[in-house]
Structure 1
């Protein structure tokens, strides 16, 4: 069901949940049959329990095989977000439902503490977050990410953070101390330089300028920072890649990575709708180039190819990326190795 685009929202519809046998439709909108979202769209925070704090994966495409996700759903509204599909598991839709029904795992700090205390637990860096942004607007209210970082500091546990939100600056006190102990890496996701594109592509995230400024500020405090140029969308933001790496390198970024866009599940429907609304003249060209990257399809689940693509266009992107990194990222400024030897878990914290 397509609605008008709401200010600050990436999608404009509530697509059917693929796991539901029926869906809500409005054939007659007179009288009491007023569309559910006609008057506007507010965010609802829904408390849920977590079975475990750590989510694990066996993907060869990912550097870390564990993540902690304090929130499901994300107000950032990034139209391309792969996590939209997983919101259907909770009974919501991948469109506006993903952006407005935010699941809050209030028990996750306690769950993580119990993990650290297990005698069998061995420390290994985990990602904050692997699914949705741990510093999305909900964090200002619930402070779950800060509690997780406090636990990591208390237990001397390594953690890697990736975000698009300036709220991370709030926790600079914790990040400075974690960095001093070689326990944290911070990555900023930056995939464009145009503020107007940001309002359409990922409306509630920080601007590229803000994120570059944070890299400079964090680097001055010896907090190791990197960037992910992700995702690269041919014909939309691909031309910004080199300039992003140059700006991030000048600000002190020690590492850079990238992925190309893939449109699995409902994301293809939402993204196509987004193109038709905002870039109708580019729609066919953009979709064709995305398909070129993924064996002729917009979706992709094949290891390796799903992240970097294949073919001539993929090779061009990879070549430009390597040249930019070699030119603008200091080869002597590598991310420091994590110190996994100072972990205080397995009941050891009681000794301090």
Structure 2
């Protein structure tokens, strides 16, 4: 009887340890732009709120360098639980003035994705002296392109292949400037506005880059490293209570995601989204999917989830988010997100 009991305990313990490995194969990347009172509200967080975020991270999470997290996950090695990475896009001067002193106070590493040709050339951008000061005090810098423009925009009469070559040349040019000024090349690229399509994403991957987007979710060893999600943390997303939920989220292990191009044409039909769930730490019937805050119809067959996506009729950036509670990790949710990008009828992209 005792042997049977011991065996049962061992089986349950091994099962629990196996489930808890999901939390170790996981990190959250936060995305900021401005840290200021006087910049556009939609992409800004006040210095006071930013400090509140950093204080919460200091008390409840471990902030790690982006490079360490990426390499650890790619090598399928365990991270510390509740690992977080701090990133900024665009290289604004207020990051140096308002965010860097706070980050330095907490000894937090962080990464800024910059447009190297604009550094020191535009009044609201960092200059190279500031970049090098920050680099010596915990910051790393990565590629945000040669200019902050919508990369999905094609020039008049430009072919698909010519557009791809031009886009990659702009990225490579920016990477060269970074390396010449800082002495290293991470080959990390953050898509401006988070926008990409399959061809751009695949070309970037083939050139050895890791891509960072702006749809929601945590990252893990099984994530798509050509378009990693990051949680926007400014504007309406800066509320600390809602941010806590995202900071504690887990990357939903999925595969066989239905093939789709995130770039969709105006008034085109959007197919349903489907994927397989690959973990025993959630119940597929507890998955809920949302589009613009609206609950979507979902169909379940075994571990395969199919979601009816509402027609996308407005230009701009859209996403479908699917979440489910973890069985083993109290108050933590698995999170999976798919973005969609739609131009105007004139083929323009909204800021």
- Sort the TM-score into its range (normalised by shorter chain): 0.3 to 0.5
TM-score (norm 2): 0.35
**Greater fraction of residues in helix:** 1
